[in-house]
Amino acid sequence: MASLKELKNRIKSVKSTQKITKAKQMVAAAKLRRAQAAAEAARPYSQRLAKVMGSLAGKVAGDSAPLLLRGTGKDERHLLVVVNTDKGLCGGLNANIVKAAKVKARELIAAGRQVDFYLVGRKGRAPIKRDYARQVKQEYDTSAVRQLGFTEAEAIAGELVAMFAAGKFDIAHLVYPVFKSALAQDPTVVQLLPVPARQVAADAVPASDAVVEYEPDEETILGELLPRYVRTRLFTALLEREASEQGASMTAMDNATRNAGDLINKLTIQYNRSRQAAITTELIEIIAGAEAL
């Protein structure tokens, strides 16, 4: 049984931990408001761009379509772009993202496809490298960036488009969390390259019945919009990651703070009982000694 000094030190240690988790919860709550606002503000632009892309993609087909739309014509080499966080203490967020990526990888490998990984964020590297060390072809470090912006999305998109043009993969899938609330962040797997016309149309807001004439021709416009769409898609994924990270962190720290409070209560009860038992023992010894005299 632990001594009174050990119990007292443990209570003090748990209280210190509770202060840290409470502070982290408050910081995450403050960051969540900004991250959620940024993610929600980016969604209308992404939807409107998807609407334009869907309208244009439906009018262009065959060899006249840009490479980012028509693809290589093959379905052998797949690249999984996995977007994880750079920091921990955010519950099972990163574990769920890695799980979704591994499930997709196993499905493709079972179908006889070659799978490679492009990793964004530090927390997803170790668990993926344990199972697919040779398949990790490239990593993008965002840990040194204080606030993610369009610059990082543009850099990642540039590398992916260059790899696609060089024939290093046939299809790229984007694995990232979608922020629903502080309690729910859903891992999502979508095709990024080549840009799927049907998926773009499905993601777009409902189109109107108005007839639109494009100038210059659709192929030229698509040649400009397709890279922008890829950058926007990645930028949206990074914003969703930031909001999901802060929401998961706030929830995890709130649970940790409550658990620390429960542990403090249990240790306090145990300490009081041990202290009372020690006092009772001393009284009995004093009384027995007095009677012996």
Q: Do 268 and 162 fall into the same domain? A: no
Q: Please, are residues 121 and 90 in contact by the beta-carbon 8 Å criterion?
A: no
Q: Do 204 and 100 fall into the same domain? A: yes
32, 53, 90, 192: the catalytic one is: 90
Q: Do 150 and 16 fall into the same domain? A: no
Report pLDDT digits (tens) over 213-271: 666 666 777 778 888 999 999 999 999 999 999 999 999 999 999 999 999 999 999 99
Number of domains in the chain: 2
Question: Whole domain around residue 281: which residue ranges?
Answer: 4-23+253-292
Whether residue 29 lies inside any domain: the answer is: no
What order of strands is seen across the sheet that includes strand 77-83?
136-140, 114-120, 77-83, 171-179, 185-193
Q: Do 83 and 208 fall into the same domain? A: yes
Q: Do 109 and 159 fall into the same domain? A: yes
Q: Do 139 and 193 fall into the same domain? A: yes
Q: Please, are residues 129 and 155 in contact by the beta-carbon 8 Å criterion?
A: no
- Cis upstream peptide for 216 (omega within 30°): yes
Report pLDDT digits (tens) over 131-142: 999 999 899 988
Q: Do 111 and 232 fall into the same domain? A: yes
**In terms of Cα–Cα distance, which of 113, 86, 108 is closest to 97?**
86
The number of beta carbons lying within 10 Å of the beta carbon of residue 63 is 5
| Catalytic-residue membership of 103 | no
**pLDDT at residue number 282:** 83
**In terms of Cα–Cα distance, which of 187, 196, 199 is closest to 101?**
187
Write down the pTM of the prediction: 0.82
Report pLDDT digits (tens) over 113-130: 999 999 998 888 889 999
